[in-house]
Structure 1
Amino acid sequence: MFPKKLISFISHEFVFIFGLILILFIKIIELNPIFIDNSYHKLYFIPANIFSEFLFGRFEFSFGDILYLVLPFILFTQIKKNHTRRKNIFIIIKFSLLIYIIFQIQWGLNYHRTDLHKKLSLNNNYSFELLLKETKKIINKTNQIHKNLSNNDTLALNLNFDRKLIINESIKSLEQVEFINNHKIPKNIKISTFSTINSYMGFSGYINPITLEAQINNNTPDLYLPTTITHEISHQLGYAAEDEANFIGILSCMKSENDFISYCGHVQAVRYLLNEIFNANNEEYKEMVMELNLGVKKNIAAASAEIDEYKNPLEPLFKKFYDKFLKINNQPKGIKSYNSVVNLIVNYGINP
């Protein structure tokens, strides 16, 4: 009996120590963005992504969502089998170490890649005048596309499009982004099993860091659906930072040959730009809003009303938790990282 207990103790200790060594190794790798870009991303992440699409892409449902349901059940079952606190603590520690290590290897190291603005040799700041200039350009193009689609600048655009078509055209638009055209773009995106839950939490999409599947919230308004799709696929391509995924998502839609997808991309860009102007100068913000077609403003208002249906007292708590998660994962601005997309839009100088 004694040797059996000793072997069990040594086994637990070995797993714990080995897990800590792996975490230390991961932390060292995080300090070297060039190694992550040239070795981890190219030699591991891209092949893993291709394999993931081959393995899970054939299924309509999200295998990753099933994992979210199964893993807690497995942990609970293992704990229930034991009757000692010590064993249960070891089980929880081993389970947590395993999930953390898999998360970092499969996905988390992408948070430590070289910043996109450095790769594209962009400035990391901009003047208010440049912000106004780029906003006016994009508003003019947004108005033009809207009028082409609606034939009347005061009417909201009819957004009753086939969702499968929207998904296919949104994915196709990523081919228009020059600096990611050396990637194999995933062709599959899943509808989240937890769409209603995500709506109440305030999330329109997510990537599963274990299976690398991209999921979208099926309740996302059609106006924001294309940029949500391209945002999540940008994550699949290894752009973990939210501002970078936002930028690629918006840029690809703006460049789409499909006018509806392009319209959605331009509207999303305008929303972020106007929000930045509002924070800096309320009078300039009012003037810019006046330049938007009334029909565009109606589309934005209708989409916002759809989202507001799910507003609830718990949403800020979920956002606060996600804010902490992002800060832990090398995004010091937390949830405000989404708004940093303005820096990339303005300095990239998107040519409408």
Structure 2
Amino acid sequence: MALRGNSILAKKIQSKLKLFGRIGLTTAFVFVLFIRLQSAQWFEQYYSRGLYPKIANILVPFSDSFPFSLSLLFILLIFIWVIISLVISWKNRKSIFSWVQWTMDNLIAIVLLTYVLFFVLWGANYQRLTVEEQFNLANLEVTQADVESFLNRLEPILINFNSSRDQDTALISIKKSLKETIESITTVNPRLPKIKQLPKGSLIRFGNSSGVSSPFLLEAHVDASLSDTFFIRVAAHELAHIAGYAGEADAEFVSEFAVLRGPDDFARYSVALEVYISLLNKLDDDLRKNYYQALPKQVKDDIKAIYIPFKKYAAPQWFQDLQKIAYGSYLKSQGVSAGYADYSRDIKLLLIAYKQGYLLQ
């Protein structure tokens, strides 16, 4: 009788804990929805320049203490836990209906918890002021003459590059440049993580991406298959994400702006190369060909090397299209109205910064 009484008491306590957990999680979710109604200026002041740097100062050193991707390990463990939980619940089911109900209840709880953690730990940075506002970029028209002028400024960086391609030194310089640039704009000195490499082709094949940042542990990952120059470029982008720039174009612009103003030749060359390619695509065919043909063989080889892993590890086209649609929908849900197309906004921002005298003068 005593054992039975203890069992009943344990079930009552468990039931109450579940109820309190659901109430707490629902309350947190509603609170997040309420917070999202605040202005961009509010998020800039109280989150991106207030709470988030404190979160980064805790999570970044913790994640950096592991030599491997802690995020990847957590994903694997969570996947195993979900499978085991589903199997156990299926074996202990009273009916198929009760199992489906249990599964749906827990799925909803997981989705709510994931969103709350995502928003609090990093995702609220989507709501901050745009880089146009932070960097005082004017709404200027960009002409082909501006594109050609900027290309001509970038060209010496590419043509005259003959320094060593030291990845570690370049990454140290990128972090320093990002810190100095962001602190001059926001007064915040961001805590930046180590760059962790994922297996060759893993991000390209399964994520249609070359780099990814964890919003839960603030880890920055880059696909190990990338060419030496593009690895540096992607690493700079991911570091800008962890610095608090959630939007893709925002992270692109901030990282490009900081590195092009920085001292490391290899870092500047790597970023200038990718920007140069993007600018060439804004020219007509004949003019683009003329600019490309004028480049030294080494620069052309580096451009070709960028695309090799994307051809080697490319996922089927239908899968790539599906991923773009899914990621575009995710971006729009975070307030990025252009969705996947927002990636290209950084080039216009760079051109405006150049016209205003902030770059390569």
TM-score range, shorter chain: 0.7 to 0.9
Q: Conserved in 1, the CA contact under 8 Å of 2:200 and 2:225?
A: yes
Aligned partner (choices 185, 194, 202) of residue 189 of structure 1: 194
Q: How many pairs does the alignment contain?
A: 338
Alpha-carbon deviation of 1:55?
1.6
CA distance in 1, matches of 2:23, 2:286: 60
Alpha-carbon deviation of 1:149?
2.5
Q: Bigger CA drift: 196-205 or 338-347?
A: 196-205
Alpha-carbon deviation of 1:23?
2.1
CA distance in 2, matches of 1:74, 1:348: 49
Identity of aligned residues (%): 21
Q: Does 1:80 align with 2:77?
A: no
User: 1:19 aligns to what?
Assistant: 25
Q: Conserved in 1, the CA contact under 8 Å of 2:199 and 2:225?
A: no
Alpha-carbon deviation of 1:294?
5.2
Aligned partner (choices 329, 333, 352) of residue 328 of structure 1: 333
Alpha-carbon deviation of 1:255?
1.8
Aligned partner (choices 131, 149, 153) of residue 137 of structure 1: 149
Call closer, same or farther: CA 1:81–1:113 in 2, change over 3 Å: same
Instruction: Give the gaps of 5 or more residues in structure 2.
Output: 1-6
User: 1:310 aligns to what?
Assistant: 313
Q: Bigger CA drift: 116-125 or 12-21?
A: 12-21
Tell me the C-alpha RMSD between the 2 structures: 2.7
CA distance in 1, matches of 2:33, 2:279: 36
Q: Conserved in 1, the CA contact under 8 Å of 2:174 and 2:236?
A: yes
Q: Bigger CA drift: 218-227 or 165-174?
A: 165-174
User: 2:4 aligns to what?
Assistant: none
Call closer, same or farther: CA 1:12–1:176 in 2, change over 3 Å: closer
Q: Conserved in 2, the CA contact under 8 Å of 1:206 and 1:215?
A: yes
CA distance in 1, matches of 2:76, 2:118: 17
Alpha-carbon deviation of 1:51?
0.9
TM-score (norm 2): 0.83
CA distance in 1, matches of 2:304, 2:110: 45
Call closer, same or farther: CA 1:45–1:176 in 2, change over 3 Å: closer
Q: Does 1:43 align with 2:54?
A: no
Alpha-carbon deviation of 1:172?
3.0
* Offset from partner CA, 1:41-71 (integer Å, 9 cap, x none): 2332100101112222222212122111112
Q: Does 1:128 align with 2:137?
A: no
What secondary structure does 1:188 align onto? Answer: coil
CA distance in 1, matches of 2:299, 2:150: 13
Call closer, same or farther: CA 1:143–1:116 in 2, change over 3 Å: closer
What secondary structure does 2:221 align onto? Answer: strand
What secondary structure does 1:177 align onto? Answer: helix
Paired residues for 1:1-352 under 5 Å: 12-32=18-38, 33-82=40-89, 83=93, 84-85=98-99, 86-129=101-144, 132-133=145-146, 135-150=147-162, 161-177=165-181, 179-180=184-185, 182-200=187-205, 201-275=207-281, 277-278=282-283, 281-282=284-285, 285-286=288-289, 288-289=291-292, 292-293=295-296, 295-313=298-316, 314-349=319-354, 350-352=359-361
User: 1:155 aligns to what?
Assistant: none
What secondary structure does 1:77 align onto? Answer: helix
* Offset from partner CA, 1:75-112 (integer Å, 9 cap, x none): 23333332232222222221221111111111111111
Instruction: Give the gaps of 5 or more residues in structure 1.
Output: 151-157
Alpha-carbon deviation of 1:303?
1.7
CA distance in 1, matches of 2:135, 2:178: 17
Alpha-carbon deviation of 1:306?
3.3
* Offset from partner CA, 1:281-336 (integer Å, 9 cap, x none): 55554555455555433321222233222223122322222122111111111111
What letter corresponds to residue 137 of structure 1 in structure 2? S
TM-score (norm 1): 0.85
